[in-house]
Amino acid sequence: DSGVTQTPKHLITATGQRVTLRCSPRSGDLSVYWYQQSLDQGLQFLIQYYNGEERAKGNILERFSAQQFPDLHSELNLSSLELGDSALYFCASSAQGGGETQYFGPGTRLLVL
């Protein structure tokens, strides 16, 4: 158990809908990262937050957004969903966000029908 929690574990929805994925980092970690994993693309970095502020963006679509709250939990919002958004979404956390080890949560499996 990494100490990172994610909810829900599974999500099934329809094209065009909007969903929210939630992540709670390990106790004491200030940085949260979101990654997407699909069969053909591997693990792709989406976005990073550090202590409530956006720090870096990766291959995140404009339809996706995220935020980190004062209690340091984070939410990833996916809107206008398409079939191709079906994937595993992982959250990771690290102490400071400065290149130290990232610990991953169990993931949310999203299926868009």
Partner 1 sequence: EDQVTQSPEALRLQEGESSSLNCSYTVSGLRGLFWYRQDPGKGPEFLFTLYSAGEEKEKERLKATLTKKESFLHITAPKPEDSATYLCAVPYSGYALNFGKGTSLLVTP
Binding residues for partner 1, total number by CB under 8 A: 28
Q: Which helix (H) or strand (E) holds 2?
A: none
What's the one-letter identity of residue 81? L
Of 48 and 72, CB closest to partner 1? 48
Segment 77 to 106, residues that bind partner 1, using CB under 8 A: 88, 90, 92, 94, 97-99, 101-106
Of 4 and 78, CB closest to partner 1? 4
- Minimum distance, C-beta of residue 51 to partner 1, in the bound complex (Å): 13
Rounded to an integer, what distance in angstroms lies between the CA atom of residue 88 and that of residue 50?
22
Q: Look at strands 19-24 and 42-50 and give their pairing.
A: unpaired
Give the one residue of 21, 25, 29, 33 binding partner 1; rule: CB under 8 A: 33
Residue 70 as a binder of partner 1 (CB under 8 A): the answer is: no
Helices and strands counted in the chain (H then E): 0, 11
